[in-house]
Amino acid sequence: MPASNPSPADLPGALTGRVIVGFQVYGINSLKTAVPTLESLAGTNVTSVSVATDGRTLKIRTNTTSIAVNLERVGYWVLKPGTKGWSSGDRPAPTARLLLDASEYLVSR
């Protein structure tokens, strides 16, 4: 399995202060709670990011919401440039994408 990029130690610096443009979950079995709605995250600021010492749990907090990601199921994350949506021809399929300002997104696979 590929390593997460940026590393767990560098992820808070890469995300904190960024504006969330959207949050997309492709594997509905991966979504445990949708209150508030995913759409309501648009326009919120990432206020803090924490990664468990083992690198398997990621928490992203905004000024209104906390997003918890259990990487036991999704594997790893990658910060990528661009805003192109995922299509069935793209491999591997993402579990979720956190769309950010400056045309970047954090994808979990």
DSSP secondary structure letter of residue 94:
P
| 53, part of any domain | yes
Contacts of 92 (CB under 8 A, 6+ apart): 109
Q: Model confidence over 13-65: pLDDT tens digits?
A: 999 999 999 888 776 666 666 677 888 899 999 999 998 888 788 899 999 88
Domain, as residue range, for 73:
11-108
- Does residue 49 lie within any of the structural domains? yes
70 is a domain residue: yes
Residue 50 sits in a domain whose CATH number is: 3.20.190.10
**Is position 4 within any domain?**
no
pLDDT of residue 30: 60
Is 2 among the domain residues? Answer: no
Domain count of the fold of the chain = 1
- Joined tokens for residue 103: 């045309």
- Report the predicted TM-score, pTM, of the whole model to 2 decimal places: 0.81
Q: What is the dihedral of CA 91, 13, 68, 27, to 10 degrees?
A: -10
